A and B are shown apart, each in its own frame.
Chain A
Amino acid sequence: MTSLILSTATRFLLPLFLLFSIFILFRGHNQPGGGFVGGLIAAAAFALHAIAYDVKRTRRLLGIDPRNLSALGLLVAMGSGMISLFLGEPFMTGQWLTLSFWPVGQLEIGTPLFFDVGVYLVVIGITLTIILSLAEE
């Protein structure tokens, strides 16, 4: 299942896909997108890699078991919600930090973004778990 064109293309496409997925992730708060779709795109990139090479190489490339990735994602999502608990506010209360990059502008960073990152990680994790283990069958 190794096609030279595909594997070469994948080598370029993979980082592009990943960048794009992160873009979609962060843009989600204001434009269509978000952690879920972003995660799917990233997962698709790795799936493509698995098709181009083989599952073993993809697993090595990932460096982390996708199951752990989804567990970590859950942990991130939950953790982002727990920050507010320590401040005496209800679970998942958004905490916002406004960073000024004068003169470029301001960047608002908040726990909901971390939450979305958690979603992103979970989606990558589970999609790859399913696809890779199906492919190994």
Chain B
Amino acid sequence: MKIQLILPLLIPLTTAILSLLAWNWSTGRRAISVAGAFLLLADAAWLLATVWDDGIQVMAMGNWPAPFGIVFVADLFSAMMVVIAGVMGFAVAIYSLVTMDRGRESFGYYALLHFLLLGVCGAFLTGDLFNLYVWFEVMLMASFVLLALGGERPQMEGAIKYVTLNLISSALFLAAVGLLYGVAGTLNMADLAQKLRAPDDANLVTTIAMLFLVAFGIKAGIFPLFFWLPASYHTPPVAVSAIFAALLTKVGVYALIRVFTLLFVQDIGYTHTVILILAGLTMVTGVLGAIAQNEFRRILAFHIISQIGYMIMGLGIFTQAALAGSIFYTLHHIIVKTNLFLVSGVAHFVHGTYDLKKLGGLYKNFPGLSFLFLIPALSLAGVPPLSGFFGKLTLAQAGIASEQYVIVATALAVGLLTLFSMTKIWLEAFWKAPPQLPTEACDAKALGSRAAYYLLLSPIILLALLTLIFGFAAEAILVVSLRAAEQLMNPAEYIRAVLGKTS
């Protein structure tokens, strides 16, 4: 029994409960939050190392054997995702110390942050389809509250769309689980994989698979299901935007990859082609949406959509290399996009706005921050040797090897457009002279002390470093991604780990 497999659940849950109980003790809450986030990260790294060394890890909850009880399964893909969730949780927990206002802190912000991490980690680790639904709901509920916390009007309007569309997704998910249970009589994913491998009625299974595609597609923010994202991501405080950008859509991507490698491979001529087409459309519509924006955070929000296209692209191509590209890309994107949101938050802190028209002068006044922005921005655009380049390269190479030239061309062209909108931010917010000199209140002094400024920068530096590592040491990440993709492409290992005997 490997305790590190269950700790990604227990640590955030305990942290969240303790933060709730400490509603009257501000310092305590902050300390608990940072400590909890750090422990989660440490445990996630431990888990990844274990999976790398000893293969897929399984824990049967309550000691009830699969498929009857709920199992937690950590293969390399899920372990990597948990690690990245830990990194993000840690970065945002620190960032929140400086940026979060007192009101939100005392109304449960830290508890919600860790509830969110709980849902995310649960979703990554569970090996049971209905249990996945439950963790989705935990994550969603936490995100609903985080989004609405503060009760400002834009938050309310954004939250209504966010909540509604995500509830539609949940309803579809639930219905699809019900249908699948009716057909296959089980909920354990490994068991389902076995039973759906050669179904008598592939069309029915594919029909249900499409419901899953839409349900997870809404969460992942793919075309044409992404509307909730641009409507809401720019409304809450930036730390919330950042953790949303880091993890929410990625859970959808994770679920898509999981079910469309493990469960629904009966009719890849239909399912994965649909996915590939949607991937291309997602890239294009997302990046065009970003080009149309004139606000720092809105540009970033639309770019999430565009980038989701890349993550799905590998799934659509459906080869080991392509999936490895998807995994690599997902990890890279989480780091980079979160970092960009964090930078936008600093810009907001300094100038009190996200509007590119009103921003300016950051390059002159904050050179360090400017270069810290350039790293993730150029990485997002795929400039070598940063992480994004290797992600795109892996995907493009896999696409060409499968002779999917159209999607590869699209991916490369969208990279160019991404560069365009990143330079737009750079030109406006960083290079341009500020429309008016920052008032005393909005000046760097607004950050409180120098120490606070550096504390604010520290997660940005951490993530920028990770971006560099993902670039320069791309091999290490790729090797793990390739191995993870191999596990996904050959589910036998997964099934054996969960169900014991082989099929």
Is there direct touching of A and B in the complex, by C-beta distance under 8 Å? yes
Residues of A bordering B, CB below 8 Å: 67-68, 71-72, 74-75, 78, 82, 84-85, 88-94
How long is the Cα–Cα vector from A88 to B2 in the complex, in angstroms? 9
CB of A71 within 8 A of CB of B3, answer no
A-B contacts, 30 of them at CB < 8 A, read A67-B20, A68-B20, A68-B21, A71-B17, A71-B20, A71-B21, A74-B13, A74-B17, A75-B17, A78-B10, A78-B13, A78-B14, A78-B17, A82-B10, A84-B63, A85-B3, A85-B6, A88-B1, A89-B63, A90-B1, A90-B59, A90-B60, A90-B62, A90-B63, A91-B6, A91-B59, A92-B61, A92-B62, A93-B62, A93-B63
Contacts of B10 in A (CB 8 A): 78, 82, 91
Contacts of A91 in B (CB 8 A): 6, 9-10, 59, 61-62
Least CB separation from B6: chain A residue: A91
Contacts of B1 in A (CB 8 A): 88-90
Residues of B bordering A, CB below 8 Å: 1, 3, 6, 9-10, 13-14, 17, 20-21, 23, 59-63
How long is the Cα–Cα vector from A82 to B7 in the complex, in angstroms? 10
Which of A72, A89, A91 has the most chain B CB within a 10 Å cutoff? A91
How long is the Cα–Cα vector from A90 to B5 in the complex, in angstroms? 10
How long is the Cα–Cα vector from A13 to B395 in the complex, in angstroms? 67
Tell me the smallest distance from the CB of A126 to a CB of chain B, in Å: 12
How long is the Cα–Cα vector from A91 to B21 in the complex, in angstroms? 23
How long is the Cα–Cα vector from A78 to B15 in the complex, in angstroms? 12
Contacts of A82 in B (CB 8 A): 10
CB of A94 within 8 A of CB of B20, answer no
How long is the Cα–Cα vector from A78 to B23 in the complex, in angstroms? 20
A interface SS class? helix
Tell me the smallest distance from the CB of B156 to a CB of chain A, in Å: 16
Choose from B9, B14, B23, B62 the contact partner of A94 (Cβ within 8 Å).
B62
Given contacts A78-B10, A85-B6, A89-B1, contact A67 B23 (CB under 8 A): yes
Contacts of B21 in A (CB 8 A): 68, 71-72
CB of B17 within 8 A of CB of A90, answer no
Tell me the smallest distance from the CB of B11 to a CB of chain A, in Å: 11
Tell me the smallest distance from the CB of B380 to a CB of chain A, in Å: 38
How long is the Cα–Cα vector from A90 to B10 in the complex, in angstroms? 13
How long is the Cα–Cα vector from A92 to B21 in the complex, in angstroms? 23
Q: Which 8 A-B pairs have the closest CB atoms?
A: A71-B20, A93-B63, A92-B62, A91-B6, A90-B63, A90-B59, A92-B61, A71-B17
Least CB separation from B14: chain A residue: A78
Contacts of A89 in B (CB 8 A): 1, 63
- For the complex with contacts A71-B17, A90-B60, 20 further pairs of A-B residues with Cβ separation under 8 Å are A67-B20, A67-B23, A71-B20, A72-B21, A74-B17, A78-B10, A78-B13, A78-B14, A82-B10, A85-B6, A88-B1, A89-B1, A90-B59, A91-B10, A91-B59, A91-B61, A91-B62, A92-B61, A93-B63, A94-B62
Least CB separation from B59: chain A residue: A90
Least CB separation from B60: chain A residue: A90
How long is the Cα–Cα vector from A88 to B63 in the complex, in angstroms? 11
How long is the Cα–Cα vector from A64 to B134 in the complex, in angstroms? 29
How long is the Cα–Cα vector from A70 to B21 in the complex, in angstroms? 10
Tell me the smallest distance from the CB of A14 to a CB of chain B, in Å: 26
Contacts of B13 in A (CB 8 A): 74, 78
Tell me the smallest distance from the CB of B359 to a CB of chain A, in Å: 39
How long is the Cα–Cα vector from A68 to B111 in the complex, in angstroms? 13
How long is the Cα–Cα vector from A78 to B21 in the complex, in angstroms? 15
CB of B61 within 8 A of CB of A90, answer yes
Which of B17, B59, B62 has the most chain A CB within a 10 Å cutoff? B62
